A and B are shown apart, each in its own frame.
Chain A
Amino acid sequence: MNWYGVRAIYTFEMARWGRTLFQSIVAPVISTSLYFIVFGAAIGSRITEIDGVSYGAFIVPGLIMLSLLTESISNASFGIYFPRYSGSIYEILSAPISFAEATIGYVGAAATKSVIVGLVIFATAHLFVDVHVMHPQWMLLFLILTAVTFSMFGFILGIWADNWEKLSIVPTLIITPLAFLGGSFYSIKMLPEFWQTVSLFNPVVYLISGFRWAFYENADVNVGFSLGMTVIFLLTCITIVYWIFKTGYRLRS
């Protein structure tokens, strides 16, 4: 195992993030604060409680998950796409490092960054609402599992994309809508039955539901099922990454 290689990639990626740390932290904090102002204050005054939780507190897990998904995908996809774009990927390909090790370095760094952003948002939420976490260990489990899973997804995206447009199209046109429609700001139980069924095909529902259960012990779907779906999604991503590296898809000519 080339741990020095893994560490080199990990620290390189973290250093890249560190160069724009202020922007990386401040941007999500500002956007989260705006969500609290718009959704929490404006809409929250009309929807007082959902399942016994104040609306402002209810949206906290969804907001963290929303940022976690977008940050994980953008960090990981950019991390691998940019070396491909600039040509510096030659160094990774010619180094005595396995694809699994390279993936650990890139995905590990992307997941770390998004977990940090998630925790910063969690801290920011305390400025606006009173938040209690009933199962902190489950909260951390979902936080880390989701960060790793979607960093892996972003990694796949960064390898698949052959231009900047493709790199941004999936997060913009697929992930963000799925996150908004996955119950970030509402319980899917509030939807008509037909749309509740449709929502169950949205993988983000399970992430948010499980994460919210860790906070308030109420969920749209069973927490074990949420965890199972998240693990299945992670295993799917791992399988795709394994195939990419085995075939050299978009990496080696």
Chain B
Amino acid sequence: MTQNSSVIEVSGLHKTYAPGFDALKGVSLEINQGEIFALLGPNGAGKTTLINIICGIVDKTSGAIRINGHDNVLDFRKARSQIGLVPQELSTEIFESVEATVSFSRGLFGKPPNPDHIEKVLKTLALWDKRKDIIMTLSGGMKKRVAIAKALAHEPKILFLDEPTAGVDVGLRQAMWEFVGQLREEGVTIILTTHYIEEAEQIADRIGVINHGEIILVEDKHKLMRELGKKQLIIELDIELTHIPDDLRRYNLVFGASGSELIYNYDTQASQTGITSLLGELGTAGIRFHDVKTKQSSLEDIFVGLVK
């Protein structure tokens, strides 16, 4: 398998729930081998439905899904055996021990017992000391780790993380992303959904945005930030202006928090950003300033702009 070859191919996927609600409207998507793909979208956009259909939990209405070339319905054994899923909330037998539930997951996916692998997974997730503990006695963060351990028990090539950091503290969140990075190093393809867009910005290779059941954008993260990200020049004036002088209108300046702060939006990809001429014209107009700073719009700003 070469880098950038597709491990998941979704084409023309439709899902209509019983009352006639179209959750997915012809979704087509390719996930590349070894990448971290962040699927973003507001609540009810269709993220979990898409993941659940790929994993076999929800039936599709029409369309096709192939996992490393295997149809996820006709050749479900080969397709599903490659996938691990961490659902939003851990749902398992709460009276079982950590070790038992993780071993159960391995067996369920058709793998022979392998205590060494289970030990490795539990140690990596800092669960080894808790392996004999009953799940109902664990904290919420520990239960999240158990959910990940269960998904990794059968050594999947593809890992779905559905809101993995929702409701967990900062320390665990950082530890989880470090772990995700390790998995990527091992060649695991990771698809995650998250509401913490700064996390996607930090960790993902590619970003997909879904809204109202449609994929509205799939792009390399850096390219996305470059193309859709705005850059702002913020100029702190010595005096407060009541209006923008007519000579400066072509710069489309706007006031910031007050009349003493001017904001200029510019395109970093343009041959001329206009910054030099703007600053010169401010001096010509007798408008003095004492500070200049720049600000890059975040992925969150881009996301809000896309789904608005």
Taking a contact as CB atoms under 8 Å apart, the answer to whether A95 and B80 are in contact is yes
Taking a contact as CB atoms under 8 Å apart, the answer to whether A88 and B91 are in contact is yes
- Segment at the B interface, from A8-16, A46-54, A175-183, A205-213: A8-16
Task: Specify which chain B residues have a CB less than 8 angstroms from the CB of A93 in the assembled complex.
Answer: 55-57
Taking a contact as CB atoms under 8 Å apart, the answer to whether B81 and A96 are in contact is yes
- B residues engaging A (CB < 8 A)? 17-18, 52, 55-59, 76-81, 83, 85, 87, 89, 91-96, 100, 103-112, 150
Task: Specify which chain B residues have a CB less than 8 angstroms from the CB of A16 in the assembled complex.
Answer: 93, 95
Report the minimum CB–CB distance from B48 to chain A (whole Å). 11
A92 close to B (CB within 8 Å): yes
Task: Specify which chain B residues have a CB less than 8 angstroms from the CB of A11 in the assembled complex.
Answer: 104, 107
Taking a contact as CB atoms under 8 Å apart, the answer to whether B107 and A4 are in contact is yes
C-alpha spacing A2/B96, complex, angstroms: 23
A87 close to B (CB within 8 Å): yes
C-alpha spacing A93/B106, complex, angstroms: 14
Report the minimum CB–CB distance from A161 to chain B (whole Å). 18
Taking a contact as CB atoms under 8 Å apart, the answer to whether A91 and B92 are in contact is yes
Taking a contact as CB atoms under 8 Å apart, the answer to whether B17 and A87 are in contact is no
**Across the A-B interface, the 9 shortest Cβ-Cβ residue pairs:** A8-B107, A87-B91, A96-B77, A88-B91, A96-B80, A94-B55, A96-B81, A2-B110, A95-B108
Report the minimum CB–CB distance from A3 to chain B (whole Å). 8
Task: Specify which chain B residues have a CB less than 8 angstroms from the CB of A7 in the assembled complex.
Answer: 107
C-alpha spacing A12/B78, complex, angstroms: 24
Tell whether A90 pairs with B109 under 8 Å between CB atoms, given A96-B77, A96-B78: no
Taking a contact as CB atoms under 8 Å apart, the answer to whether B96 and A15 are in contact is yes
C-alpha spacing A11/B93, complex, angstroms: 13
C-alpha spacing A95/B84, complex, angstroms: 9
Task: Specify which chain A residues have a CB less than 8 angstroms from the CB of B80 in the assembled complex.
Answer: 94-96
Task: Specify which chain B residues have a CB less than 8 angstroms from the CB of A12 in the assembled complex.
Answer: 93, 96, 100, 104
Given A8-B106, A86-B93, 8 more A-B residue pairs with CB atoms under 8 Å apart are: A5-B108, A12-B96, A15-B96, A88-B92, A93-B57, A95-B80, A96-B110, A97-B108
| A248 to chain B: closest residue by CB | B59
Digitize A232-250: 1 where CB-to-B-CB distance is under 8 Å, 0 elsewhere: 0000000000000000100
C-alpha spacing A88/B93, complex, angstroms: 8
C-alpha spacing A93/B55, complex, angstroms: 8
| B83 to chain A: closest residue by CB | A94
Taking a contact as CB atoms under 8 Å apart, the answer to whether A90 and B59 are in contact is no
Within the complex, which residue of B76, B85, B110 is in contact with A4, where a contact is CB–CB below 8 Å?
B110
Taking a contact as CB atoms under 8 Å apart, the answer to whether A90 and B108 are in contact is no
Digitize A216-245: 1 where CB-to-B-CB distance is under 8 Å, 0 elsewhere: 000000000000000000000000000000
C-alpha spacing A94/B108, complex, angstroms: 10
Taking a contact as CB atoms under 8 Å apart, the answer to whether A253 and B17 are in contact is yes
The residues in A between 14 and 56 inclusive whose CB is less than 8 angstroms from any CB of B are: 15-16, 19
Taking a contact as CB atoms under 8 Å apart, the answer to whether A252 and B57 are in contact is yes
Task: Specify which chain B residues have a CB less than 8 angstroms from the CB of A96 in the assembled complex.
Answer: 76-81, 109-110
Tell whether A94 pairs with B56 under 8 Å between CB atoms, given A8-B107, A253-B17: yes
| B103 to chain A: closest residue by CB | A8
The residues in A between 79 and 107 inclusive whose CB is less than 8 angstroms from any CB of B are: 82, 86-88, 90-98
Report the minimum CB–CB distance from B289 to chain A (whole Å). 58
| A12 to chain B: closest residue by CB | B104
C-alpha spacing A199/B69, complex, angstroms: 57
Task: Specify which chain B residues have a CB less than 8 angstroms from the CB of A91 in the assembled complex.
Answer: 91-92, 105, 108, 150
Taking a contact as CB atoms under 8 Å apart, the answer to whether B56 and A86 are in contact is no
Report the minimum CB–CB distance from A1 to chain B (whole Å). 9
Task: Specify which chain B residues have a CB less than 8 angstroms from the CB of A86 in the assembled complex.
Answer: 91-94
Taking a contact as CB atoms under 8 Å apart, the answer to whether B108 and A252 are in contact is no
CB pairs A–B below 8 angstroms (11 shown):
A4-B107, A4-B112, A8-B107, A16-B95, A87-B87, A88-B93, A90-B52, A91-B91, A91-B108, A93-B56, A252-B58
Taking a contact as CB atoms under 8 Å apart, the answer to whether B108 and A9 are in contact is yes
Digitize A188-215: 1 where CB-to-B-CB distance is under 8 Å, 0 elsewhere: 0000000000000000000000000000
C-alpha spacing A21/B268, complex, angstroms: 71
C-alpha spacing A9/B91, complex, angstroms: 16
Task: Specify which chain B residues have a CB less than 8 angstroms from the CB of A95 in the assembled complex.
Answer: 80, 108-110
